[in-house]
A and B are shown apart, each in its own frame.
Chain A
Amino acid sequence: MMKTMNDSKLPHSRVAKHIASLPKSGIRDFFELVMTMDDVISLGVGEPDFVTPWGIREATIYSLEKGHTSYTSNLGLLSLRKAVCNYVEENYSVAYDPVHECIITVGVSEALDLILRALLEPGDEVVYHEPCYVSYPACIQMAQAIPIPIQTVEQNNFSLNPSDLEQKITSKTKVILLNFPNNPTGATLTYDQKSEIAKIAVANDLVVITDEIYSELTYENQSQSIAAFPGMKERTVFLHGFSKAYAMTGYRIGYACGPADLIDAMMKIHQYSMLCASIMGQEAALEALKHGKNDRESMKNEYLMRRNLIVKRFNKLDLSCTNPQGAFYVYPNISSTGLNSESFAKRLLKEKSVAVVPGTAFGSDGRHHIRCSYAVSMDDIEEAMKRISEFVSEV
């Protein structure tokens, strides 16, 4: 008799081991719970609340009007790659060749997957810092390599201590993966920290992948990209995109700049699995680089004011909250309530209809923290903080 899908062993046994062992995203359960509720104020959103600026949306429509609906080069439109390389040189002080050293991808998510798969072999180790974006350890595992986390801590403003990094490096380490400004903590690296990390990378002959998707949203002490330090350009893959700075998450346009051999290897995977990013998105991205600066700056200014407000409110509640220097998240410590982050988040949602994300979604050490996004309106921040204040006084 034929076996049916109900046979308990079958679905498990045929999924590849390295996929079956991937944990489900910690946000998933929470997401299902929130979807069943009305009138939730959500501080749980990892994307801008702003709609893409009209000038960029209008350029997308114009691109369709002109009938630009085809594939593009696997690497992406050359005009966009030229504009990207100019932008990167102007703002991050590293010059890349748009023909050989730049690829347009479907968001930074795809770029990260491509570079990890291009670099890693089974058993290789990738050193990265936690708390971090949910996909890092998963993408490393999907590339059949071993994720080696370093915990960043509140006392150090969640910045990466170069000596902690150095301790994790072994003969199997191949890659250092960085994300500053950081999701979920909003932490940044100082010039000196970048310089130290760069020296470690050079001394140990490692590749550095730097996800700089939040870099335009740096509010204090902006410093050059790690790719710009001596000896780094040839070993750094710079990942960036349009989602956060231009509120273009739905367009799914990112890019990678790096040494030609690595971009070429990424391109091989990309051409067979993705072919190219959508041309409408690419043309919109070009418009963002050409004319999006004022909108970008005014959104950044708004985020800064929201950050000031939410940090002040948290500290008033006696929930310690470091002042994040970038991105649009705060990562307060909720241990004074006696709750762990998951029960804090679940009870806050049920009792006060405010959604936040438990720190455990971003790494195993997140039980004392919650992530609150301030990519929400001032009014919603005020109301959410009022409810959080009530909640904290009641638990």
Chain B
Amino acid sequence: MEKREKILELLQQNARLTASEISDRLNFDVDEIESTIKRCETENIIRGYYTLINEDNYHVKKVRALIEVSVRPERDGGFDRVARNIGKFSEVTDVMLISGNCDLQLIVVGESLNEVANFVAQKLAPLDGVLSTRTHFMLKKYKEAGFQFEDDEDYERLKITP
């Protein structure tokens, strides 16, 4: 694996690791790690840093919906123009082109069920190119980005073994 790949793999698991902490783990030079990260940021390989919050343990709970959208593809650009336009709404946090029964899959966030429903009815569905939508409200999240939201129970594990 090349150095850049190893550095990105670590940052993907923990974006808060400093260059010196990465250096402790990989035995690469700190300056080299810093310049690699900088380059990844300017080259748009690193697009941002994000904090994973378990909202079940937090008083601010938002409503999230997973929305499947069927789209009329266009002669030049296929689904791209519509997907980009959908992504411009601040309510939409994720947009993916997928295979299967629909074309795009979105995640939409709002303060309430009504807010999300209104967004779909008033903004998303009427959009030029959108043929149909199917909305699934998220009820509980168990795992995201590789992180389980609940730990296993502790048990009598030995503290010293040969």
Contacts and interface: CB of A to CB of B under 8 A. Distances in A.
B26 A305 contact: yes
A144 to B, nearest CB: 23
A178 interface: no
A45 B160 contact: yes
Contacts of B161: 27, 44-47
A312 B24 contact: yes
A133 B162 CA distance: 7
B26 A308 contact: yes
25 contacts: A25-B162, A27-B160, A27-B162, A30-B160, A31-B159, A34-B159, A34-B160, A42-B159, A42-B160, A45-B158, A45-B160, A46-B162, A133-B162, A135-B162, A305-B26, A306-B25, A308-B24, A308-B26, A312-B24, A312-B27, A313-B24, A355-B159, A355-B160, A357-B160, A378-B25
3 closest A-B pairs by CB: A305-B25, A44-B160, A42-B159
Contacts of B43: none
Given A45-B158, A308-B27, A361-B162, 18 more contacts: A25-B162, A27-B160, A27-B162, A30-B160, A34-B159, A34-B160, A42-B159, A44-B159, A44-B160, A51-B152, A134-B162, A135-B162, A308-B24, A308-B25, A308-B26, A309-B25, A313-B24, A355-B160
A45 B157 CA distance: 10
Nearest to B27: A308
Interface residues of A, number: 27
Interface string B147-162: 0000010000011111
Contacts, number: 47
A44 B162 CA distance: 8
Interface string A30-46: 11001100001010111
Interface of A: 25, 27, 30-31, 34-35, 40, 42, 44-47, 51, 133-135, 183, 305-306, 308-309, 312-313, 355, 357, 361, 378
Nearest to B157: A45
Interface in B32-48: none
A134 B161 CA distance: 10
Contacts of A135: 162
